[in-house]
Amino acid sequence: MNQHTVLFTSEAVTAGHPDRLCDSISDAIVDRFLCQDPGSRVITECAISKGVVFIAARLASDVMIDLPETARSVIREIGYHPKDFDAEGCTVVTSIIQMPVEQRCQDESLLSDAEIDRIVAQNQTTVFGFACTHTPDLMPLPITLARHLANQLSAARTHEELACLSPDGTIQVGVELAGGIPRRLHTLALICGFQAGQIIKPDRLQETLKTQVIEPVLQSMQLSLDPETRILINPLGAHIRSGPATHSGMTGRKTANDTYGAYARHSGAALSGKDPLRIDRSGTYAARYAAKNVVSAGLAEACEVQLSYTIGQARPVSVEVDTFGTGTLKDEVIAKRLEEVFDFRVGAIIRDLQLRQLPSRYPEGFYRHLPVAGHFGASFTELPWERTDKAAELKG
């Protein structure tokens, strides 16, 4: 019997896309607060337009950092041409709400179990974690390939012929799946901007991007094209300008990019700009941790873990599992095992994943790298929620 074939697409953006830039600025602020005061409460959002950066922050901390300089340092690193966006000359507007310093958090690693039980969710949310066997890091292939291409496109700007490319680019990957299993690459689309009006001839751009971006990524992922695979590079013509000079950005507008490329559900809430007490961030990491261990244990080929939290409660009010008919055990049995093996209390997630201590261990920042390098799967370092150290215990 022929398996039903579907085409699924996922999108990723490069570091200089205005939305991604806002995520990186917001997380750079989180890093700097937690590095100096791990007990900081910080919720920050960023918006950007031509020549203007706006930062809104709600804080409870023993320290204060230079928010404008933090934003400028990220913008410098992105590498826009000054005519497109000037890190030194742009206007940075801040709006800060100071919460009482008593609302700072304690170090969860030093608390007793009873004290951990008193750390409750500050917001209500339902978060999702997902894993599947498409790739070695148990992520869906479309978003994984799109993200690798986006990062390679950023890296390729060091090539002489690609130095005129803007840091702002978009990748879309279409994969044909049969019975949920990747069968072939259908489409690779790369949209590239140019800095300050510079341009490359279309045929030269296509040739260079194929050799400097597409081929290295396919080789590293052990993937191949077929004669019918479509490669689209700037299909609407050359993009003369890009970045904040032409379109605005805001924190949290790339949630599908940040999670599973819309292949699996996510809460819809932004991950960036939030300290670990925000359960819509830390709970999402915990749900991915659980789902990945289920698949790594061989209990399913695909697994979604749903955690629902309500305000004032330490534990999720529900833990649900869906293995989409691929499980070796009933979904409710897997869910019960997860509750026995993982501690999904708010404070326990922060403690077990060491979410407050991570920024101080990475001099160049921890959270600020996640929007670009990836919140899930292979990232700039081994992420604690990407471990599969619970698989043997889940297997029983």
> pLDDT in tens for each of the 396 residues of the chain?
457 899 999 999 999 999 999 999 999 999 999 999 999 999 999 999 999 999 999 999 999 999 999 999 999 999 998 888 999 999 999 999 999 988 899 899 999 999 999 999 999 999 999 999 999 999 999 999 999 999 999 999 888 888 889 999 999 999 999 989 999 999 999 999 888 767 788 888 999 999 999 999 999 999 999 999 999 999 887 666 678 888 899 999 999 999 999 999 999 899 999 999 999 999 999 999 999 999 999 999 999 999 999 999 999 999 999 999 999 999 999 999 999 999 999 999 999 999 999 999 998 999 999 999 999 999 999 999 999 999 999 997
The continuous run of DSSP H or E covering 76 comes out as helix 67-78
pTM (2 d.p.): 0.96
C-beta of residue 165 within 8 angstroms of C-beta of residue 194: yes
Fold (topology level) of 5-11+142-243: GMP Synthetase; Chain A, domain 3 (3.30.300)
For the 114-134+278-395 domain, the top CATH level (class) is alpha beta
The label of the residue with tokens 């337009």 reads 49
| Chain centroid, CA 390 distance in Å | 23
Q: Are 86 and 244 in contact (CB under 8 A)?
A: no
Q: Evaluate whether 271 touches 281 at the Cβ level (below 8 Å).
A: yes
Question: Token pair of 78, please?
Answer: 């992105």
Element of type H or E holding 115:
helix 113-116
Is residue 324 left, alpha or beta, with left meaning phi > 0 and alpha meaning psi from -120 to 50? left
Q: Where in the chain is the domain with CATH 3.30.300.10?
A: 5-11+142-243, 114-134+278-395
In what side-by-side order are the strands of the sheet with 302-309? 125-132, 302-309, 318-322
Task: Give the contacts of 276 (CB within 8 A, at least 6 positions apart).
Answer: 105, 282, 349, 350, 355, 356
